[in-house]
Amino acid sequence: MTGSRKGDEGRRIAFLGTGLMGAPMARRLLGAGFAVTVWNRDPGKAEALAGDGAVRAETPADAVSEADVVITMLTNAEAVKDVLFDRGAADAITPGVTVIDMSSIAPHFARNHSARLAERGVDHVDAPVSGGVVGAEAGTLAIMAGGDKDVIDRLADVFAPMGRVTRVGPSGAGQLAKLANQQIVAVTIGAVAEAMMLIEAGGGSPAAFRDAIRGGFAESRILELHGRRMVERQFTPGGSSSNQLKDLNAAMEAAKTLSLTLPLTAAVHAEFSEFVANGNGEKDHSALLLHLEEKNARPGGKK
């Protein structure tokens, strides 16, 4: 391991996955005085946290071996399974430790991971987040937790530097809440994009339109942040379209399992599927505007 510990007086945290979201979340924990050991598939992303006081581990198993709490913030369910079970991290976790999976995965995967960890005497909470990189840096993430209430309550000091935690139900419920959140995000992005196109096509100013409706019934974080991205045509990802599609795929799968018909979600799912299939997965999800413009033969939003 490389780096130096600080805050050894508190609980020791292993943070697995220090990418776009994970790195600022780990920094928040370091700033709160926790001793944090980090691991990432790309060692450089973990090494970057050493200057903030983190210890970099060579393997996931090394990272968790002395941890009191393990946090995973990984790309998808396959990555979580690989890191926890295929790479031996679960076997290196001491019984009585809690794993908090803050990745966004389908609920049935979360319940499966919880059951497998329970066999080892390890508690599990699925606690995906919403708020993007801005929220991760500010410590204002919305954290949706599924699992035992007593376990979640015991972790209040761990969650606090990262954002506001709400228990929404038993194992898997946190992930289901995240899927519902992503439905709202995707549908709202689509609605804002279509409204921007309508205004521009009629000769109005999208920027002035956005300003005009701020504070009214259409106000939202999507209008505030992604509406600005659309006006400025700045689509470097905070949240990628490929990740948005991943969550919509899981939402549609959950809806099918629950015998639900979700027509608005289905419509925006189809548009994101096409957008990503056309090679735009690494653009911000607000870039769905580009896809809708192309469908209307309006490249760049111009007549």
| Catalytically annotated residues | 178
CA–CA dist 303, 295 (Å, integer): 13
CA–CA dist 121, 215 (Å, integer): 49
Tokens of 240: 């990628």
Identity of residue 271: E
Handedness of CA 155, 143, 147, 14 (dihedral sign): negative
Residue 6 region by backbone torsions, left for phi larger than 0, else alpha for psi between -120 and 50, else beta: beta
CA–CA dist 103, 297 (Å, integer): 37
CA–CA dist 64, 70 (Å, integer): 6
- What CA dihedral angle connects 180, 182, 188 and 194, to 10 degrees? -130
CA–CA dist 191, 286 (Å, integer): 11
Task: Kindly list the distances between the CA atom of residue 76 and the CA atoms of 81, 133, 195, 246, 273, in Å, as whole numbers in the listed order.
Answer: 9, 17, 32, 8, 17
Does residue 27 contact residue 49 with C-beta atoms inside 8 Å?
Answer: yes
